[in-house]
């Protein structure tokens, strides 16, 4: 009897682990940076390569930090919603142009419109790495003191904006 019980128990445990794993949302990757300050950086603006910006320059308001790139197909998918957010002045959006050529970034913004209050150039991807970016697009809600309050992985859609992002924005305004 013991000869059959041990393999059966092992099989049931493995099955339970697989069942649990399949029920997880692959877009929900917890960030260790939630409730922590934005990592320190000094980046140039995409439109003004001689002007440097640091997190302290962005204190005093709640905003979204949207990580994007001209080579990113999914970024183009969320771009119309970002444009609408800019037109409606829903919440300020700061862009973080990730591992991209500045001329390509400017070309995309010229052709599709520029939804960003400003866009910062992270050419070597160092700030993205410090933020734990897995891929673009990713969007962070940053509070008035520069604390990361929420991370959204993947393109923003209307449901994510209304049900997840905006409630966090409202909470910290």
pLDDT of residue 103: 97
Cβ-proximal residues to 146 (8 Å cutoff; 6+ apart), any chain: 37, 38, 55, 56, 58, 59
pLDDT of residue 26: 57
N-term to C-term CA, the chain:
64
The helix/strand/coil state of 111 is helix
129-141 pLDDT, tens digit per residue, is 999 998 899 999 9
Beta pairing, strands 118-122 & 43-45: antiparallel
pLDDT of residue 10: 72
Residue 159 host element (H or E): helix 158-160
Residue 135 tokens, joined: 């891929």
pLDDT of residue 29: 58
pLDDT of residue 2: 66
Is 87 within 8 Å of 162 (Cβ atoms)? no
pLDDT of residue 170: 98
pLDDT of residue 21: 64
80 sits in the region (left: phi over 0; alpha: psi -120 to 50; else beta) called alpha
Question: What's the predicted TM-score (pTM) here?
Answer: 0.84
Distance between CA atoms of residues 75 and 66, nearest Å: 10
55-86 pLDDT, tens digit per residue, is 999 999 999 999 999 999 999 999 999 999 99
Distance between CA atoms of residues 115 and 66, nearest Å: 10
pLDDT of residue 70: 98
Beta pairing, strands 63-68 & 52-53: unpaired
Domain range list for the chain: 30-172
According to CATH, the topology of domain 30-172 is Glutaredoxin (3.40.30)
Q: How far is CA 25 from CA 29, 35, 76, 166, in A?
A: 8, 22, 23, 21
pLDDT of residue 7: 72
Distance between CA atoms of residues 38 and 65, nearest Å: 10
Enumerate residue ranges in the chain where pLDDT < 70: 1-2, 21-30
């Amino acid at each position: 009897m013991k000869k059959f019980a041990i393999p059966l128990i092992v099989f049931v445990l493995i099955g339970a682990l697989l069942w649990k794993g399949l029920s997880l949302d692959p877009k929900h990757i917890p960030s260790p940076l939630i409730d922590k300050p934005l990592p320190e950086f000094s980046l140039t603006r995409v439109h003004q390569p001689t002007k440097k910006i640091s997190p302290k320059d962005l204190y005093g308001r709640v905003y979204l930090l949207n990580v994007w790139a001209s080579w990113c197909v999914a970024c183009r998918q969320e771009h119309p919603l970002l444009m609408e957010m800019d037109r409606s002045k829903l919440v300020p959006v700061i862009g973080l142009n990730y591992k991209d050529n500045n001329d390509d970034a400017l070309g995309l913004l010229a052709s599709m419109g520029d939804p960003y209050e400003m866009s910062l150039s992270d050419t070597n991807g160092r700030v993205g790495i410090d933020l734990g970016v897995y891929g673009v697009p990713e969007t962070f809600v940053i509070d008035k003191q520069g604390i990361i309050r929420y991370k959204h992985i993947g393109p923003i859609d209307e449901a994510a904006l209304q049900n997840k992002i905006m409630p966090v924005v409202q909470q910290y305004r």
